[in-house]
Structure 1
Amino acid sequence: FALISTTDFFMPIVDDPYDFGRIAATNSISDIYAMGGTPCLAISILGWPIDRLSPEIAKEVVKGAEDVCKNVKIPLAGGHSIDSQEPIFGLAVNGLIKIENIKKNNTAKKGDLLFLTKPLGVGILTSAEKHGVLREEDQGKATSVMTILNNIGEQLAKIEGIHAMTDVTGFGLLGHALEMAQGSKLKAVIKANDVPVLPEVQYYLDKSCCPGGTFRNIRSYGQHITGLTEENQKILADPQTSGGLLIAVSPSSVNEYITLAKRSGIPESAIKSFGELANGKGIELI
C-alpha cells in the first residue's frame, strides 16, 4: 500500500458556516479520491478572526466538516487553529491505496475519452450570490454540487482502463485538462457543447455574473488553447470549488465506467464523453 497525504483550505465562499465546513471538508477529501485512494484520517486547519467573529460560528464550521468525515467513516482527529485576519478552514487528509491502483493526472493515452463527474458552473452561481442576484429557486444549488463526494474515485482506481484522473478545482476544466494533456504529451480535443454544465448558468452569464478567477485562468493558460470564444471561456475556465473528477478512459473501458457512474449516482448529463486525447499539444475546442 501507499500513503496519500494532502491538504487544502480556503476562505468562505458561502455565508452559512455549517455549509462552509461541509464544502471545505468535501473539497479536501476529494484529493484522496482523485488518486483512487481511500481516506483514513483528517485533521482540521482553522484560521479565525476572534475579535470579529464568535467562536460559536467557528464551531458550526467544524461541525460541518465533522459530519462529512462521519459520512466518509474517518475520524476528524483534532487539528490546529490560529487568529487570522479572515476566516480560513480546511483539512489535511491521509489516505491509502494499493500501489498498482494509483491514478495520476499525467498518464493519459492517445484515444482516451474524457469524462467529468460533476457539471460546471458553481463559480458562476456563487458569484451571482455575492452580487445579490441569485434567484430564490437557485438557492443552495451550488452547495449541493460542492458537497457531493467524489468517492467514485475509489472504485475507478480498480479499473485498469482508467488511465488518468484528477479533480477539477480553481483552474477550471480547461486548466486541469491542459495539465493532463501536457503531462501526458498529448492534445485534448474538447467538444465545448458536450461538457456538462448546470442548467442555471446561462441565466447568470446573461447578467454578467462571472468570477474574476475565470479571467485570471484564461490569462495564465489561454495561449495554449484554440477555439476559445467570449462565451465558452466563461464556463470552461470557471473556477470550481470541490469540482468533479476529470477522467481519461480507454475506449475499451467506457462501458464499465458508465455502468459504475450510473450505479454511483453521477448525473445523467455527466455520463457522456465530451472529448478525447490525441496527438498534438494544448487544447483544441470544437
Structure 2
Amino acid sequence: MASHDSYFLPHKAIWPIVGSIGLTTLLAGFANFLNGAAIGPMMMWLGAAIMITMLVGWFGTVIKESVAGWYSHQVEISFRWGMIWFIISEVFFFAAFFGALYYTRVLAIPWMGDEDSITNEFLWKSFESAWPTNGPGAIGGHFEPMGAWGIPALNTLILLSSGVTVTWAHWGLLANKRSQLIQGLIATVALGFLFVVLQAFEYHEAYTEMGLTLGSGIYGSTFFMLTGFHGLHVTIGAIMLTVVLLRSARGHFSPEHHFAFEAAAWYWHFVDVVWLGLFIFVYWL
C-alpha cells in the first residue's frame, strides 16, 4: 500500500504474461490467415479473447487498487506521464501516415508526371500529375473520390460536439455535480459510437457504389489507412469513456481524484484533433 511518502509496489501480476501470450497468438493467427492456413481464424479469435480477458482483468485490478486508496500522489504523477507519452506515440503514429500522404501528393506524383523526368519518359509516358489518382496505368481501377460534404462533414460536427460534451462533463466533475458529469459522458459516448456507425455507412458506400477500395491505387490505400485507423481510435476512445461512465455512475470519481476520466478525455481530444487534420487533408483538399 502507498502512502504520501512512499511508492506503491504492486503484487506479482499475471496479466503482463497473459497479454504477451494473447498478442502472440493473435499475430500468429493473422499471419496464418494471410497465408491461407485453416487454423488462422481460430488462432485470431483465441488471441483476441485472451487480449480482452487481459485488458478487463488488468484494468479491473488497477481500478480496485485505486478505489481502495492504495495509490499515492507520486503514483498519479507516473500515470499522467505514462498517458502523456502514450499520446505522444500516437501523434507520431499518425504523423507517419500523414507524411506518406504528403510525400505522395506533393513529391512523388508531380515527379512521375513531370514530362522532363526520366521516370515519365521511360516508365509512365502517359501518366499525368493529378490527385486523386489510382496510379500509373490506372492500376487501381475506376473509382470515385470521397467528397468532403455529407457524412464526413456530419462526422466532423459530431466529433467537435463530443469534445464540447466531454468538457462539460469535466466541469460537472470538478464542481461535484454528478448528474452533469453523467449526462455529459452519455452524450459523448453516444456521439462517439454514432461517428463509428456513420463511418461504416461511408465505407459501405465507398465499396459498393463508388468503387473505392484499399486496392484503388495510392488514393484508396492512404484514404482507408488514415480514416480506418482513426475510426479504430474513436472506437477505443468510446469504449474508454463508456468504462468511465459506468464508474461515474458508481461514484468512483471525486473533484480531487479522477485521473481515469482525464486520461480518457485527453485521448478523446487527441482523436478530435486528428480528425480535423483528416477532414482537411484527406477529404477537403
TM-score, normalization: structure 1?
A: 0.25
- Which structure: greater strand fraction? 1
Q: Which has the higher contact order (CA 8 A, sep 6+)?
A: 1
**Larger-Rg structure:** 2
Relative to its length, the structure with more helix (as a share) is 2
Give the TM-score normalised by structure 2: 0.25
